Structure 1
């Protein structure tokens, strides 16, 4: 085999493997998908606990519907507001860090180049190669290089608080609709059973999906999810039954 063919083979084998997801933004999309699953999970558990608790006190369809809708709206708006505040704070911190880095690059470029070289050396690269890489990265995009290597921030993919708020609102609402419909649509004698079975099945699916997204063991994730939902419904049903029996 000639040197040219070896080089060609090396070039052909370089880069991302076709069966591995290396495309830009994958981590961000997985995080959003995981957040959506968790938001739906919260909607299922909180609304199921609420309506099952009310069902322990009364079999009035209108009372169940009113409580369920109130819980759905309160929960989805709370999730959206909390996510907006959280992501806005994160974005403000990232923008402040980028602004400081931009100022340092403008006022002390040599010190920043030395810093980037040192950070690359910490990754196991020799000083000579680290210096060469640092110089090339600086020439191409100094702020982007420092943001990614030094700060762990991608300046092109800062989180959007409005997107986060809407994603949380929608995912919570979708999750909350399942126990709400399960408790108000069936006949009175079937409501509790249908709700419990539907909720536990949905929680199993959420546990499975979240485990797959995080490359974690499926069985413990499903068991934790189902057990948490079952306990929440059992406790709220007991409380509702006691309150209903006492006439409160």
Structure 2
């Protein structure tokens, strides 16, 4: 694990985006695993700026989003597709046909799981996977449990996760109770992981994930096994991980 700590969020976002830009420029056909939520928004803003400044092109890139809410179609304003379109897809030269995300509106969720997993296997090893972590240690929507799934699967969302995500919805009852998520096995097979976390609220779980034992009750702890893990934190999130 290579730990990068920044005083200001913008510095963090620039450094993480530069890491992703470097991957794309070295391999214009790069396959990217993408995360959603508040944490990577700044990273996506910096990727858009890099594109606008002609420092990178997404024309030959393919993307694979980690997850999508069950029951939400692409057009739903709270879908992760809508999130990605708002923050990245509509602002760069990434062709629509090279964007991959689970279909949350699929009537047959298990069939959609199989379809998406087949796409990921066809893609092979992702060149870079962007990740963050939930307050309970989840990565993607891989929630804590006695066992974890290696492949794409349907997951029931914990009440804690639904409460955290409810700020993006009109009310808690509007938050879906299930999601389709990429398995941890796919994530940790990526050639490189760009991991970002911000804020004091993440400090305790980051200590468990990166200094504690590898434990399925803290799914993020499995990232300790990755040979090319770049961690980008602000000083508040990192306060239990370094001296000074």
TM-score by length of 2: 0.21
- Larger relative contact order, structure 1 or 2 (CA cutoff 8 Å, min sep 6): 1
Normalized per residue, the structure richer in strand is: 2
Q: Calculate the TM-score normalised by the size of structure 1.
A: 0.21
As a proportion of its length, which structure holds more helix?
Answer: 1
